[in-house]
Structure 1
Amino acid sequence: MGLMTFLRNRAGYILVFAIGFAIVAFLVGDAINVGKPFWAENQKTVGSVDGNDISIDEFGPKVEQNLNQFKQQYGGSANAQMQSMAVDQAWNAELASVLLNKEYERLGLSVSEDELVDLLVGQNPSPLIKQYFTNPQTGQLDRMQLNSFLKSKDPQAQNQSALLQTEVKNQTLQQKYSNLIRNSVYVTSLEATDEYTNRNKLANFKYVNLDYTSIPDASVKLTDADYSEYYDANKSRFNNPQETRSFEYVTFSIKPTKADSAAVKAQVDKIAADFRVAKNDSLFAAINSDVKVPFTYITKGKLDPAVDSAVFSLPAGSYYGPALSGNSYKVIKVVATRLSPDSVKVSHILIDPAKVGGEDKAVKLADSLKGLINKGGSFAELAKTYSVDGSKDQGGSMPAFARGAMVPEFENAAFDGSVGDLKTVKSQFGIHIMKIEKQIGSSKVAKLAYVEKSLAASSKTQASAYKAASNFLNDVKGNDFAKFAQTKNLKTAVADKITATQGFAPGLDNPRKLIQDAYAADKGDVLPEIYTMGDGYVVARVTDIRPKGALPLDAVKKEIQPMVLNAAKAKLLKAKFDGAGKVGLAQIAAKVGRSVLPVQNIVFANPIIPGVAQENKLVGSVFGSQPGKVSTPVEGERGVYVFSVDGFSNPAPIANMFKQKETMLLSLGQRSLGAAFQALQDNAKIKDNRVKFY
């Protein structure tokens, strides 16, 4: 009762405080995050560049557009790696848009209205205008089509025109900026001469080497001072360009067991027996096959190579299989075989039923047009008037195509007919009037009733593997992950230095969800889920987190151990050379128990010692030495070297200094653009939240 009385007496104060807090929260939230609560980060923000937020609503469609382009370019369906490429490309475009536009403004780069008009309709239009409005038949810019497009009052055309003009401006600004960067780069005659000399001056020398492998690793005791010395001398190597995470994982296999394989084989044997007495081959195949192969004529080379030759050597009415090929059984009936053209060239008129009042009217129109063509009417002119296909501008003429390129109805009509045939064909696109112009080549084709059954794990096997993975996930928490896995006879694998948007990881089929969870976890955390990866269930633990920027010694200590070990060995090997005294190369070789090895025609720009390795320090020291003198010991990649230069062969003077400079400028100009953009990124405040969305 006392508490209730207290609340009633002070209800007014509490209400005023609550309202006041809400107002302050709203105002502060507005100032901090444009109306979003300040206690929670905007869930729609993919990232930000210098305070410019990138919304998933705008970013997502760009990723999808890139993904569709990749699917067209590489073929097939999207995969994790393709998705990662699409996300990276969209992100880089966003970075470029924000950073370059700020740079254009800072430098005073712009495109005036008069300049834009000239780029659109002038004598030397933008490459984009040429790309979109060049007539493919004449190769010339179609100015009538261009002017019609720019002056159109249609809302969709006006929107497309605005987008095109924006892209023309952006491309022009990029070109101006590129020219500005390139023109800031120059090559002096001294630099050109040095580059020419480095690529053409030859050195002949002899050396004696002591390999690092000559000292057992176990005999070298590394100290903290050894690590610090190497780290301090190589700090620039340990700058992490972006955050990475590493994780270890175990896999619980869901590959089919012997019992699973036997069960599938028994099922396939029954299917094969039923197949032989089936009354409808195509229907039986469609019902029983895990992989659908169209019931139409196909050419040799379309099937699994292991069965293709065998099937195409069989006569009509034959059966193939059951045969295990790859990870599936195949049972095939050769329904029919015949000779068929390799490719066909046709012309067609496509009628859209929706535009002529329905399918019946489309068929009647097709019959009328066929009648006109049979009476001598021009197929090409009728195509230009009545066809809705893109080929109408070419009079309906299509490029020659092979089997598998068109929808079945269209393909069958083209390949089953004869040259000169005029056919009416119904497809998912509408009603076609097809004229077979030419049939090219001839080869055997087969119509197959195709049944394929995958050799997959049974539900019992999958359930058993999942239970084992679940038990491991529950029991490993609080234990040493690798040691616990070893007690369960499981092999621990490692995925090292995985970036947030990476679409792959060693040994894992589709790791995006796992990577996302790894970036939401702390070092040492066992990830909360069991991940399905192709033929196994995976349990993982985050082993390392490397933030962006300079990495401390502790973060790279294990990684640099082999190099530190070699550095420690180098000191011992140098001492061994020093103990041989200041004598000739042959005497040094005798005292250290090695041979003198000659090297001919080495150039500074290609510091590879034949049969050894790339030895930059050694070759650099050679070109900085006087002939005839025995060098001090040089620490290399494979060991420690002592050498003596026999002589140098200087190249002829540069024949064309201008060409030498021009070649160097081209390379420097290309590198300078990338370096300039990288500098803009390094100096920008970039926040990347992509891992939360992809």
Structure 2
Amino acid sequence: MGLMTFLRNRAGYILVFAIGFAIVAFLVGDAINVGKPFWAANQKTVGSVDGNDISIDDFGPKVEQNLNQFKQQYGGSANAQMQSMAVDQAWNAELANVLLNKEYDRLGLTVSEDELVDLLVGQNPSPLIKQYFTNPQTGQLDRMQLNSFLKSKEPQAQSQSAMLQTEVKNQTLQQKYSNLIRNSVYVTSLEATDEYTNRNKLANFKYVNLDYTSIPDASVKLTDADYSEYYDQNKARFNNPSETRTFEYVAFSIKPTKADSAAVKAQIEKIAADFKVAANDSLFAAINSDVKVPFTYLSKGKLDPAVDSAVFSLPAGSFYGPALSGNSYKVIKVVSSRFSPDSVKASHILIDPAKVGGEENAVKLADSLKGLVSKGGSFAELAKTYSVDGSKDKGGELGTFARGAMVPEFENAAFDGNTGDLKVVKSQFGVHLIKIEKQIGSSKVAKLAYVEKSLAASSKTQAAAYKAASNFLASAKGNDFAKLAEKDKLKLAVADKITATQGFAPGLDNPRKLIQAAYAADKGDVLPEIYTMADAYVVARLTDVKPKGILPLDAVKKEIQPMVLNVAKAKLLKAKFEGAGKGSLEQIASKVGRSVMPVQNIVFANPIIPGVAQENALVGSVFGSQPGKVSNAVNGERGVYVFTVEGFSSPAPIANMFKQKETMMLTLGQRSLGSAFQALQDNAKIKDNRVKFY
């Protein structure tokens, strides 16, 4: 507890900041190619940035720190997506560390020693200092805790202090660089006026449209020239920011069968019968439950919602279940219940048995100190003298805490006692003398003996599924994967455009090993293993590889077919409009068999036609047209349009040009930071071999 507790609690945050902060303002989507085939890379090199190799020995611990931070933040155990997030954050931090530091050196950006001291302990400290050392109770910077941390001689504290100071410097350098980027952005009065007009000028118009769906797809015969024309006009859309791979797969279920479910039900019913006559409730629960719930008082809301309300309405001695909730059976004994404080304010003196000759001596010392306090001695002064915890500098004060914040022995003493009590307890940290300063609130708590049995597939069910997957894998090699799946009446699924570090794939809950294999395979290969998911065994085949860069027409031909079809249909629909002649919009509508549709109060910046779709080309054409004239046909997203502008409503002049510019500059400044970092990446030599390791 104290300084060591502080370090334990914050070590993850500090290290996560050390590998993650520099990319907060610059973080962009995956833009790095997988690079050379991973089997050709150095066995310990995760990647390199402008010749700076990143070793797995350095990279791995940073990923673990990120992962631990995510587990604290989101709760629960790590999963594939969380792992992917941790890897991406560590990687982007490595990019930022190399690329931004090169920029700082090039621009001559530094943080002087005097500036660093001021950022650490001055009147206006770094935001990092405020984040880590603000007292949550007072909302004020705890300078005593800060100074204790910075001056500590403990090796761990010194290491963490050096790391924190490095990050304070990094944050300051980043802020200076960000300010340079932001200050390079300028908005002219003409740009400000255009932006204001685009968001406030209103257009009223009416249109006639012919939908693409009015022409059946089968009636349109596309040629190679159609595809080439569309591809050449939209080539920028086909820039693949990173290599992707597509695989098809079949899954062999290992979900529990009816027989499995019946077996689990019979098992839990026997457990429930034995539970009612068990001599030791807590031991019985610990031995028989798949899920371990602490044998201590719990407040309402800690259990499965379907179970929680029922259990907390039962008196002590009652049994709940067996009951199926979610994917498991629960049987619970309410050992006792009572009302207890919601939170406690307490102080303590922590005695280290190793420093006083053993646990027995530590307890005797705590009892002696308890006697001194009972006779009027100052708890705070005794804490400063005898406690080994960092809280001794504050007289042993621990602040206010709720259930679950302390180790069970400490929590039970604090919540089971009364205000003013002095209690001696032993915990994993040593021997505590606890003073209960105040108890706040009151609500029902219950001590539960909790048994949970999950519904799971039996070994027989799993073996049968694995055998079926093995037979399919053997047959798939050298045969048509899709036809074999159809023959065996298996559903063929597709995971499309999967990146090398992606932590998820459609229908797969644990896809990383499969994705790694896909990146080691050639197009058309059946992947070599059976891959285990939570409820299925999976066999897969790599069907497509899309490299980084502008994709060739052949690689996108199937993907762009709907758009090419619409372009071909647009030519036919335009011809239909041309055949309607040059009359009024109403006359044209009558000839093509459509109605005239009115639209009111459309702005250029929000080109959505009510009840239709977002039609950028149509709205852009409207704002570039003169009122009263029938337009030429315009290709849209949903069809071809002919329109007539009825009029525009111009807004009042800008009331405050300075504020308009300031608002635009703020938005442009934020965009420019991401653009700057992207430009640094685009101009760097980056090799990414993460798929080899994660």
Question: What code does the residue aligned with 1:90 have?
Answer: A
Partner of 1:632: 632
Partner of 2:482: 482
Q: 1:113 to 1:383 in 2, by over 3 A?
A: closer
Partner of 2:266: 266
Separation in structure 1 between the aligned mates of residue 295 and residue 464 of structure 2, nearest angstrom: 39
Residue 659 (str. 1) matches residue 659 (str. 2):
yes
Q: 1:141 to 1:459 in 2, by over 3 A?
A: closer
Gaps of 5+ in 1: 1-38
Partner of 1:422: 422
Separation in structure 1 between the aligned mates of residue 608 and residue 131 of structure 2, nearest angstrom: 46
Q: 1:673 to 1:423 in 2, by over 3 A?
A: same
Separation in structure 1 between the aligned mates of residue 618 and residue 381 of structure 2, nearest angstrom: 76
How far did 1:229 drift?
Answer: 1.1
Separation in structure 2 between the aligned mates of residue 239 and residue 368 of structure 1, nearest angstrom: 76
Partner of 1:29: none
How far did 1:532 drift?
Answer: 0.8
Question: What code does the residue aligned with 2:320 have?
Answer: Y
- The equivalences for 1:13-52 within 5 A come to 41-52=41-52
- The equivalences for 1:466-545 within 5 A come to 466-545=466-545
Partner of 1:70: 70
Separation in structure 2 between the aligned mates of residue 365 and residue 494 of structure 1, nearest angstrom: 68
Q: Is the 8 A contact 2:84 2:503 kept in 1?
A: yes
Partner of 2:548: 548
- The equivalences for 1:161-310 within 5 A come to 162-310=162-310
Residue 373 (str. 1) matches residue 368 (str. 2):
no
How far did 1:350 drift?
Answer: 1.9
Larger radius of gyration: 1
Partner of 1:61: 61
SS of residue paired to 2:399: coil
Separation in structure 1 between the aligned mates of residue 468 and residue 501 of structure 2, nearest angstrom: 30
Partner of 1:107: 107
Write the deviation string for residues 357-385 of structure 1: whole angstroms up to 9, x where unpaired: 22112111101110111011122222233
Question: What code does the residue aligned with 2:508 have?
Answer: L
Partner of 1:577: 577
Question: What code does the residue aligned with 1:687 have?
Answer: K
Pairs aligned (count): 655
Question: What code does the residue aligned with 2:517 have?
Answer: D
How far did 1:446 drift?
Answer: 2.2
Q: Name which structure has the greater RCO, CA cutoff 8 Å, separation 6+.
A: 2
Q: Is the 8 A contact 1:327 1:454 kept in 2?
A: yes
- Identity of paired residues, percent? 87
Separation in structure 1 between the aligned mates of residue 676 and residue 48 of structure 2, nearest angstrom: 20
Write the deviation string for residues 126-174 of structure 1: whole angstroms up to 9, x where unpaired: 5556666778879469599759947x88876665565455434433332
Q: 1:430 to 1:162 in 2, by over 3 A?
A: closer
Taking structure 1 as the reference length, what is the TM-score of the superposition?
0.89
Question: What code does the residue aligned with 1:518 have?
Answer: A
Q: Is the 8 A contact 1:135 1:142 kept in 2?
A: no
How far did 1:580 drift?
Answer: 0.5
Question: What code does the residue aligned with 1:392 have?
Answer: K
Bigger shift: 71-80 or 655-664? 71-80
Write the deviation string for residues 187-218 of structure 1: whole angstroms up to 9, x where unpaired: 11110110010000000000111111111112
Question: What code does the residue aligned with 1:230 have?
Answer: Y
Taking structure 2 as the reference length, what is the TM-score of the superposition?
0.89
Bigger shift: 638-647 or 284-293? 284-293
Gaps of 5+ in 2: 1-38
Write the deviation string for residues 303-330 of structure 1: whole angstroms up to 9, x where unpaired: 2222222222222222222221111111
Separation in structure 2 between the aligned mates of residue 620 and residue 560 of structure 1, nearest angstrom: 24
Question: What code does the residue aligned with 1:77 have?
Answer: S
SS of residue paired to 1:398: strand
Residue 565 (str. 1) matches residue 565 (str. 2):
yes
SS of residue paired to 2:397: coil
Partner of 1:411: 411
Partner of 2:646: 646
* RMSD after superposition: 2.4
Write the deviation string for residues 598-648 of structure 1: whole angstroms up to 9, x where unpaired: 111100000011111111000000000000000011111111111000000
Partner of 1:461: 461
Q: Is the 8 A contact 1:63 1:86 kept in 2?
A: yes
Q: Is the 8 A contact 1:249 1:539 kept in 2?
A: yes
Q: Is the 8 A contact 2:149 2:157 kept in 1?
A: no
Separation in structure 2 between the aligned mates of residue 396 and residue 357 of structure 1, nearest angstrom: 22
Write the deviation string for residues 529-570 of structure 1: whole angstroms up to 9, x where unpaired: 111100111111111111111101111111111111111111
Q: Is the 8 A contact 2:149 2:161 kept in 1?
A: no
